A and B are shown apart, each in its own frame.
Chain A
Amino acid sequence: EVKLVESGGGVVQPGGSLRLSCAASGFTFDASAMHWVRQAPGKGLEWVATITGDGVSSYYVDSVTGRFTVSRDNSKNFLSLQMSSLRTEDTAIYYCARDTYKWNPGTIADWGQGTLVTVS
Protein backbone atom coordinates (compact mmCIF):
# COMPACT_ATOMS: atom_id res chain seq x y z
CA GLU A 1 0.00 0.00 0.00
CA VAL A 2 1.36 3.39 -0.99
CA LYS A 3 1.78 5.71 1.96
CA LEU A 4 2.79 9.37 1.85
CA VAL A 5 3.09 11.21 5.16
CA GLU A 6 3.81 14.93 5.18
CA SER A 7 5.24 16.83 8.11
CA GLY A 8 6.78 20.20 8.89
CA GLY A 9 3.79 22.49 8.48
CA GLY A 10 3.07 25.25 10.97
CA VAL A 11 2.76 28.98 11.47
CA VAL A 12 5.53 31.23 10.15
CA GLN A 13 5.88 34.98 9.76
CA PRO A 14 6.05 36.63 6.34
CA GLY A 15 9.60 36.48 5.05
CA GLY A 16 10.34 33.37 7.07
CA SER A 17 11.32 29.86 6.04
CA LEU A 18 9.91 26.39 6.50
CA ARG A 19 10.89 22.92 5.36
CA LEU A 20 8.25 20.33 4.54
CA SER A 21 9.03 16.63 4.45
CA CYS A 22 7.24 13.65 2.99
CA ALA A 23 8.01 10.08 4.05
CA ALA A 24 7.15 7.60 1.31
CA SER A 25 6.59 3.86 1.53
CA GLY A 26 4.88 1.03 -0.30
CA PHE A 27 6.43 1.62 -3.73
CA THR A 28 9.79 1.90 -5.47
CA PHE A 29 10.54 5.51 -4.60
CA ASP A 30 13.13 6.30 -7.28
CA ALA A 31 10.80 4.97 -9.99
CA SER A 32 8.33 7.80 -9.39
CA ALA A 33 8.45 11.50 -10.05
CA MET A 34 7.06 13.36 -7.05
CA HIS A 35 4.95 16.48 -6.76
CA TRP A 36 3.94 19.12 -4.25
CA VAL A 37 0.44 20.49 -4.73
CA ARG A 38 -1.17 23.09 -2.47
CA GLN A 39 -4.66 24.30 -1.71
CA ALA A 40 -5.33 27.65 -0.11
CA PRO A 41 -8.30 27.80 2.29
CA GLY A 42 -11.52 27.53 0.31
CA LYS A 43 -9.67 27.57 -3.01
CA GLY A 44 -8.78 25.13 -5.76
CA LEU A 45 -5.73 22.97 -6.30
CA GLU A 46 -2.47 24.59 -7.35
CA TRP A 47 0.58 22.67 -8.51
CA VAL A 48 3.76 23.83 -6.78
CA ALA A 49 6.70 21.68 -7.86
CA THR A 50 7.78 18.39 -9.44
CA ILE A 51 11.01 16.44 -9.23
CA THR A 52 11.89 13.50 -11.47
CA GLY A 53 12.57 10.07 -10.03
CA ASP A 54 16.32 10.41 -10.32
CA GLY A 55 16.24 13.89 -8.77
CA VAL A 56 18.02 15.40 -11.76
CA SER A 57 15.23 17.69 -12.97
CA SER A 58 12.80 19.86 -11.05
CA TYR A 59 10.05 22.20 -12.12
CA TYR A 60 8.16 24.98 -10.36
CA VAL A 61 5.11 27.18 -10.68
CA ASP A 62 6.23 30.72 -11.50
CA SER A 63 5.04 32.17 -8.19
CA VAL A 64 7.50 30.09 -6.13
CA THR A 65 10.49 29.97 -8.50
CA GLY A 66 13.55 31.23 -6.68
CA ARG A 67 11.90 30.87 -3.26
CA PHE A 68 11.08 27.15 -3.03
CA THR A 69 13.37 24.18 -3.65
CA VAL A 70 12.19 20.60 -4.06
CA SER A 71 14.61 17.77 -3.32
CA ARG A 72 14.56 14.06 -2.63
CA ASP A 73 16.69 11.46 -0.86
CA ASN A 74 16.17 8.20 -2.71
CA SER A 75 18.21 6.29 -0.15
CA LYS A 76 15.75 7.24 2.59
CA ASN A 77 12.53 7.53 0.56
CA PHE A 78 12.10 11.17 1.54
CA LEU A 79 10.82 14.16 -0.38
CA SER A 80 11.36 17.73 0.82
CA LEU A 81 10.20 21.22 0.00
CA GLN A 82 12.37 24.04 1.32
CA MET A 83 10.31 27.24 1.39
CA SER A 84 11.86 30.66 1.97
CA SER A 85 10.74 34.29 1.68
CA LEU A 86 7.26 33.09 2.54
CA ARG A 87 4.30 35.29 1.75
CA THR A 88 0.79 35.35 3.12
CA GLU A 89 -0.43 33.97 -0.20
CA ASP A 90 1.62 30.80 0.43
CA THR A 91 -0.84 29.86 3.18
CA ALA A 92 -2.30 26.51 2.17
CA ILE A 93 -2.49 22.81 2.76
CA TYR A 94 0.51 21.27 1.03
CA TYR A 95 0.11 17.78 -0.42
CA CYS A 96 2.90 15.40 -1.31
CA ALA A 97 1.94 13.27 -4.30
CA ARG A 98 3.33 10.39 -6.36
CA ASP A 99 3.42 10.18 -10.12
CA THR A 100 3.26 6.88 -11.94
CA TYR A 101 6.18 7.82 -14.18
CA LYS A 102 9.83 8.48 -13.42
CA TRP A 103 10.66 11.12 -16.02
CA ASN A 104 7.43 12.10 -17.79
CA PRO A 105 5.10 13.48 -15.13
CA GLY A 106 1.36 13.56 -15.52
CA THR A 107 -0.54 10.87 -13.63
CA ILE A 108 -0.66 11.82 -9.96
CA ALA A 109 -1.79 8.49 -8.62
CA ASP A 110 -1.38 8.86 -4.87
CA TRP A 111 -1.67 11.74 -2.41
CA GLY A 112 -0.69 12.32 1.20
CA GLN A 113 -3.10 13.74 3.75
CA GLY A 114 -1.52 17.19 3.56
CA THR A 115 0.19 19.54 6.01
CA LEU A 116 -1.01 23.06 6.74
CA VAL A 117 1.28 26.02 6.31
CA THR A 118 0.08 29.34 7.67
CA VAL A 119 2.02 32.51 6.88
CA SER A 120 0.88 35.21 9.24
Chain B
Amino acid sequence: QSVLTQPPSASGTPGQRVTISCSGGTSNIGSDYVYWYQQLPRTAPKLLIYSNTQRPSGVPGRFSGSKSDTSASLAIDGLQSEDEADYYCAIWDDSLSKYVFGTGTKVTVL
Protein backbone atom coordinates (compact mmCIF):
# COMPACT_ATOMS: atom_id res chain seq x y z
CA GLN B 1 0.00 0.00 0.00
CA SER B 2 1.36 3.41 -0.97
CA VAL B 3 2.38 5.98 1.64
CA LEU B 4 0.83 8.65 -0.61
CA THR B 5 -2.95 8.65 -0.31
CA GLN B 6 -5.28 10.05 -2.96
CA PRO B 7 -9.07 9.97 -3.18
CA PRO B 8 -10.15 7.13 -5.49
CA SER B 9 -12.34 9.38 -7.60
CA ALA B 10 -13.22 12.96 -8.42
CA SER B 11 -15.66 14.44 -10.88
CA GLY B 12 -16.98 17.67 -12.31
CA THR B 13 -18.85 19.17 -15.20
CA PRO B 14 -17.08 20.89 -18.08
CA GLY B 15 -15.67 24.23 -17.02
CA GLN B 16 -15.62 23.41 -13.31
CA ARG B 17 -12.57 23.37 -11.04
CA VAL B 18 -11.53 19.98 -9.75
CA THR B 19 -8.91 19.45 -7.06
CA ILE B 20 -7.11 16.20 -6.25
CA SER B 21 -5.28 15.79 -2.96
CA CYS B 22 -2.19 13.72 -2.18
CA SER B 23 -1.54 13.12 1.51
CA GLY B 24 1.74 11.92 2.90
CA GLY B 25 3.99 12.75 5.81
CA THR B 26 6.96 14.80 6.88
CA SER B 27 9.37 12.09 5.72
CA ASN B 28 8.08 12.10 2.14
CA ILE B 29 6.01 15.01 0.83
CA GLY B 30 7.37 17.22 3.57
CA SER B 31 10.92 16.56 2.40
CA ASP B 32 10.81 15.96 -1.34
CA TYR B 33 9.46 17.35 -4.59
CA VAL B 34 6.03 16.17 -5.71
CA TYR B 35 5.28 15.09 -9.27
CA TRP B 36 1.94 14.55 -10.97
CA TYR B 37 1.20 12.18 -13.87
CA GLN B 38 -1.86 11.84 -16.07
CA GLN B 39 -2.79 8.50 -17.60
CA LEU B 40 -5.45 8.59 -20.29
CA PRO B 41 -7.32 5.33 -20.87
CA ARG B 42 -5.15 2.63 -22.42
CA THR B 43 -2.09 4.86 -22.76
CA ALA B 44 1.23 5.35 -21.01
CA PRO B 45 1.43 7.95 -18.22
CA LYS B 46 2.44 11.50 -19.01
CA LEU B 47 4.25 14.02 -16.82
CA LEU B 48 1.90 16.82 -15.82
CA ILE B 49 3.66 18.66 -12.97
CA TYR B 50 7.23 18.47 -11.66
CA SER B 51 9.00 20.04 -8.71
CA ASN B 52 5.67 20.69 -6.94
CA THR B 53 4.41 23.44 -9.23
CA GLN B 54 6.18 23.38 -12.61
CA ARG B 55 4.46 22.50 -15.86
CA PRO B 56 6.44 20.91 -18.71
CA SER B 57 6.07 22.65 -22.05
CA GLY B 58 2.91 21.53 -23.80
CA VAL B 59 0.87 20.97 -20.63
CA PRO B 60 -2.15 23.30 -20.62
CA GLY B 61 -2.22 26.11 -18.12
CA ARG B 62 -5.44 24.83 -16.56
CA PHE B 63 -3.34 22.28 -14.67
CA SER B 64 -1.56 23.55 -11.55
CA GLY B 65 0.20 21.97 -8.60
CA SER B 66 0.72 23.09 -5.04
CA LYS B 67 2.27 21.70 -1.89
CA SER B 68 1.80 22.49 1.77
CA ASP B 69 3.54 20.72 4.65
CA THR B 70 2.65 17.05 4.24
CA SER B 71 0.15 17.24 1.41
CA ALA B 72 0.01 18.28 -2.21
CA SER B 73 -2.78 19.12 -4.63
CA LEU B 74 -3.43 19.09 -8.33
CA ALA B 75 -6.05 21.51 -9.62
CA ILE B 76 -7.74 21.47 -12.99
CA ASP B 77 -9.30 24.84 -13.71
CA GLY B 78 -11.90 24.70 -16.45
CA LEU B 79 -12.35 20.93 -16.69
CA GLN B 80 -12.55 19.56 -20.22
CA SER B 81 -13.79 16.22 -21.53
CA GLU B 82 -10.27 15.22 -22.57
CA ASP B 83 -9.16 15.51 -18.93
CA GLU B 84 -11.01 12.31 -18.07
CA ALA B 85 -8.13 10.14 -16.90
CA ASP B 86 -6.30 8.67 -13.92
CA TYR B 87 -4.01 11.02 -12.03
CA TYR B 88 -1.09 9.99 -9.81
CA CYS B 89 1.07 11.98 -7.45
CA ALA B 90 4.60 10.75 -6.83
CA ILE B 91 7.83 11.51 -5.00
CA TRP B 92 11.41 10.36 -5.10
CA ASP B 93 12.04 9.56 -1.44
CA ASP B 94 15.63 10.67 -1.07
CA SER B 95 16.05 9.07 2.36
CA LEU B 96 15.03 5.64 1.06
CA SER B 97 16.20 6.04 -2.54
CA LYS B 98 12.84 4.86 -3.77
CA TYR B 99 10.20 6.31 -6.05
CA VAL B 100 6.67 6.23 -4.68
CA PHE B 101 3.44 6.69 -6.59
CA GLY B 102 0.20 7.70 -4.95
CA THR B 103 -2.85 5.46 -4.99
CA GLY B 104 -4.32 7.26 -7.99
CA THR B 105 -7.48 9.26 -8.64
CA LYS B 106 -9.92 8.65 -11.46
CA VAL B 107 -11.36 11.91 -12.77
CA THR B 108 -14.72 11.71 -14.50
CA VAL B 109 -16.18 14.52 -16.57
CA LEU B 110 -19.94 14.50 -16.07
Q: Report A's interface with B, CB cutoff 8 A.
A: 35, 37, 44-47, 50, 59, 61, 95, 100, 104-114
Q: Are B44's CB and A61's CB within 8 A?
A: no
The reply to whether A107 and B35 form a contact with Cβ atoms under 8 Å apart is: yes
Q: Can you name the residue of chain A whose Cβ is closest to the Cβ of B99?
A: A47
Contact of A50 among B51, B86, B91, B99 (CB under 8 A): B99
A44 & B88 in contact (Cβ 8 Å cutoff): yes
- CB distance A106 to B50 under 8 Å? yes
Among the 9-residue stretches B11-19, B61-69, B100-108, the one with 4 or more Cβ atoms under 8 Å from chain A is B100-108
Please determine whether A45 and B45 come into contact, CB atoms closer than 8 angstroms. yes
Select one of A95, A107, A109 contacting B44, CB under 8 A.
A95
Interface residues of B in 49-66 (CB under 8 A from A): 50-51, 56
**3 tightest CB-CB pairs across the interface, nearest first?**
A47-B99, A111-B44, A44-B104
Contacts of A95 in B (CB 8 A): 44-45
Measured between beta carbons, the chain B residues less than 8 angstroms from A45 are 37, 39, 45, 88, 90, 101, 104
Tell me what chain A mostly uses at the interface: helix, strand, loop, or mixed.
strand
By a CB distance below 8 angstroms, the chain B residues around A110 are 47
Query: Shortest distance in angstroms between A57's beta carbon and chain B's nearest beta carbon?
Result: 8
Task: Report the Cα distance A84→B80, complex, angstroms.
Answer: 44
Give the distance in Å from the alpha carbon of A13 to the alpha carbon of B6 in the complex.
34
In the bound complex, how far is the Cα of B97 from the Cα of A47, in angstroms?
12
- In the complex, chain B residues 18-55 whose Cβ is within 8 Å of any chain A Cβ: 32-33, 35, 37, 39, 44-47, 50-51
Please, which residues of chain A bring their CB within 8 A of the CB of B92? 104-106
Please measure, in the bound complex, the distance between the C-alpha atom of A108 and the C-alpha atom of B90, giving whole angstroms: 10
- Listed residue (A45, A105, A109, A113) with the most chain B CB atoms within 10 angstroms of its CB: A45
Contact A111 B88 (CB under 8 A): no
Of A47, A50, A59, A104, the residue contacting B101 (CB under 8 A) is: A47
Residues in chain B near residue A100, CB distance under 8 A: 50
Chain B residues within an 8 Å CB radius of A50: 99
Partner of B47, one of A59, A104, A108: A108
A50 to B90, CA, bound (A): 14
Q: Indicate if the CB atoms of B98 and A59 lie closer than 8 Å.
A: yes
CB-CB under 8 A from A44, the residues of chain B are 2, 86, 88, 101-104
